[in-house]
Structure 1
Amino acid sequence: MGTTNHITTKWLGNMSFESNNPSGHNLRIDIAKEDGGDGSGYRPKALMLSGPAGCSGLDVAALIKKMKLEVADFHIETIANLTDEHPKYYDKVTIEYHFHGSNLEEKKLQRAVDLSVEKYCGVMEMFRRFAELDIKTIFHHE
């Protein structure tokens, strides 16, 4: 028997919802004004893309610490293709890991990314069930 996550999502009126989180922080979900919403919150599909980036980013940050690597800056770009037919979902997702620094150990950083993508990140594994993933690691030597 695994762990259970329980999230409550409450309608706030019109097209706006609020979802709670085990962290104690709430987030608002809404759609664009041109689609009938107020544009006051996160779009559900786009919000999903923060999941694998955040999950994998945490793995990589922990490994940077553990391996005592020098990284000045690190960000993740997630570019997802939405299908044309309803229900629209992400069928192809590109995830780019960008590392900046003057002393980047490429092999070790690549290992950190690989460990996260292939072994540790559960959200990445969920995405793999419905999308083709293209993982890229880009080094910016300064």
Structure 2
Amino acid sequence: MTNHITTTWLGGMAFESNNPSGHTLKIDAGPESGGDGSGFRPKALMLSSLAGCSGLDVASLIQKMKLEVDEFKIDTIANLTEEHPKYYDSVVIEYHFTGSNLKEDKLKKAVDLSVERYCGVMEMFRKFAKLDIKILYHHK
């Protein structure tokens, strides 16, 4: 299976990129790089892709396991190298679960399944970055 994405220059430093979902997103550089900051930054989008990929896995497992979670968010904190080409050499991925009836063992299993088996973006990141997975439970 292949994905075909078309990314079209809009002028200046801005681009529009399509997606197999039928949606588009705008990519732009910040003012410090000659853009006007009207779109997503490419490297930061990689972190959204990482969190989104794993988040979909975990959300699916939360539903399948019938777990009660009031809030679920993922923070990705990445270190960018100093030298060009700059890339993320380490990423901390924090899974935050909030609720009054959190089943910590099952939530950990859901995260572990995503991290170790299901998330393809996680596997890609492993090729170039050290990953640090943290799970935080916030009991109400």
Query: What TM-score does the superposition give when structure 1 sets the normalisation length?
Result: 0.97
Could you say which residue in structure 2 is the equivalent of 1:110? 108
Give the 4+ runs in structure 1 shifted more than 4 A.
Answer: none
- Rounded Cα–Cα distance in structure 1 between residues aligned with 2:22 and 2:119: 22
Secondary structure of the residue aligned to 2:94 is: strand
Could you say which residue in structure 2 is the equivalent of 1:81? 79
Secondary structure of the residue aligned to 1:123 is: helix
Which letter maps to 2:109?
Answer: R
User: How well do the aligned residues superpose, as a CA RMSD in angstroms?
Assistant: 0.5
- Rounded Cα–Cα distance in structure 2 between residues aligned with 1:52 and 1:5: 17
Which letter maps to 2:30?
Answer: A
Which letter maps to 1:16?
Answer: A
Matched positions, count:
140
In the alignment, structure 1 residue 62 sits paired with structure 2 residue 76: no
Query: What TM-score does the superposition give when structure 2 sets the normalisation length?
Result: 0.99
User: Cα deviation per residue 1:93-119 (whole Å; 9 max; x = unaligned)?
Assistant: 000000000000000000000000000
User: Cα deviation per residue 1:10-33 (whole Å; 9 max; x = unaligned)?
Assistant: 001010001000001100000112
Could you say which residue in structure 2 is the equivalent of 1:24? 22
Identity %: 76
Give ranges in structure 2 of 5+ residues lacking alignment: none
Secondary structure of the residue aligned to 1:39 is: coil
- Rounded Cα–Cα distance in structure 2 between residues aligned with 1:20 and 1:61: 25
Could you say which residue in structure 2 is the equivalent of 1:122? 120
